[in-house]
């Protein structure tokens, strides 16, 4: 991923933009009054909370495959089989499988 260069011009521009946003917010609050602004912010906060609750149900999870036939890619490191004396696998049901390799000892 390419990271944008942070020059003095971009930093100054970001600070000016943030100051304009804060100034606009202050002007809006003065213009409509705190009572109406409080009501509007309550509605926006409620809608934001609703979207945050529903979004995980509508959007696909990044760790789940999007189709039932697509298998997830496992990131498995290097396995040293000649020096292995056994493998222990803990399965989801609590079962333990232990394999031994008698010819490799």
Total Cβ atoms within 10 A of residue 37: 15
Report the predicted TM-score, pTM, of the whole model to 2 decimal places: 0.37
Q: Which domain range does residue 36 map to?
A: 8-58
Classify residue 51: in a domain, yes or no: yes
Classify residue 83: in a domain, yes or no: no
**CA–CA gap between residue 38 and residue 44 (Å, rounded):** 10
pLDDT of residue 28: 86
Read off the pLDDT of residues 83-105 as tens digits, 9 standing for 90 and up.
666 655 555 666 555 556 565 54
Classify residue 54: in a domain, yes or no: yes
Classify residue 18: in a domain, yes or no: yes
pLDDT of residue 82: 64
Classify residue 48: in a domain, yes or no: yes
Classify residue 16: in a domain, yes or no: yes
Give the total number of structural domains in the chain: 1
Read off the pLDDT of residues 18-55 as tens digits, 9 standing for 90 and up.
999 999 988 888 898 889 988 988 998 899 999 999 88
């Amino acid at each position: 991923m390419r990271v944008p260069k942070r020059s003095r011009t971009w930093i100054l521009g970001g600070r000016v933009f943030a100051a304009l946003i804060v100034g606009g917010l202050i002007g809006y609050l003065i213009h409509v009054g705190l009572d109406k602004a409080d009501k509007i912010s309550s509605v926006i906060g409620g809608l934001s909370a609703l979207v945050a609750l529903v979004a995980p149900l509508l959007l696909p999870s990044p760790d789940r495959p999007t189709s039932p036939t697509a298998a997830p890619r496992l990131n498995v490191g290097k396995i040293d089989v000649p020096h292995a004396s056994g493998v222990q696998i803990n399965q989801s049901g609590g079962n333990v499988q232990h394999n031994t390799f008698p010819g490799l000892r």
